[in-house]
Amino acid sequence: MKNISKKISVIGVALLFLVAFTNCEAVKNANNKQKGAVIGATGGAILGAILGNNIGKGGNGEIGAVIGGVAGGAAGVIIGNKMDKQAQKIETEIPGAQVERVDDGIVVTFDENSGVYFDTNKYNINAASQATLDKLASVLREYPDTDVLVVGHTDSTGSEEYNMTLSKQRAQAVTNYFTQTKALSNGRFTTNWYGEQTPVADNNTEAGRAKNRRVNIAIVPNEKMVQEAEQEAQQGGN
């Protein structure tokens, strides 16, 4: 696992960008090949897609360092094009998953209605979830120049301490499935968990709780992709 050193203040700054960008329908719906040059190194909106309505106090480290924006200008356009293709591949292979292109990355959200779910109070990967994760693993293998963040969440049923532990177990189960069962590189993955602290829907309704019981997977460019994009951009400018 990666050691993440940036301070939690990154998240606060990131959410400012989240408000600015997601309130603009034209930007929200833009193709990220076009957005790359505009958003570039600002990053941040991807945090909102993962953390929902609140910033929790849980987790195993600050995640802003993992998923901040990585490049701007021409390099951002090149990266955006590559990430667009990967997002389209995921949508094709896993039609039930919620796939969002946000900043320089891709956020895939799985809940009880979209392919990866857990039995009540359980964290083992069941057969239906395995089939979905197998498809995503194939895409990750096809696009190796990315890092992956797996984040677990629960609804508010049960104690806060219990939910924090359960979200950790579920997120780690997904990561372990990718790295141990599907033999993807452990170095690509970071795992985090927030229990009940970051809802995206109303916990007072069953439908809302079902949405809050989720696992987010953020896919972001790794250092190799960034360096190659910057080199390609420099060559194009000569």
More confident residue, 38 or 54: 54
Q: What digits encode the pLDDT tens for the residues 95-121?
A: 888 899 988 889 999 988 888 888 888
Domain boundaries, the chain: 9-237
Averaged pLDDT, 36-58: 54
Report the predicted TM-score, pTM, of the whole model to 2 decimal places: 0.76
Q: What topology is assigned to 9-237 in CATH?
A: 60s Ribosomal Protein L30; Chain: A; (3.30.1330)
Four-CA torsion 80, 101, 130, 207, nearest 10 degrees: 180
Kindly report the length of the chain.
Answer: 238
**pLDDT of residue 30 exceeding 60:** no
Q: Which long-range contacts (CB under 8 A, 24 or more apart) does 121-130 make?
A: 121/166, 123/166, 123/169, 123/170, 123/172, 123/173, 124/173, 125/173, 125/174, 125/177, 130/177
Q: What digits encode the pLDDT tens for the residues 49-105?
A: 787 765 544 554 445 545 555 566 888 899 999 999 999 999 999 988 889 998 888
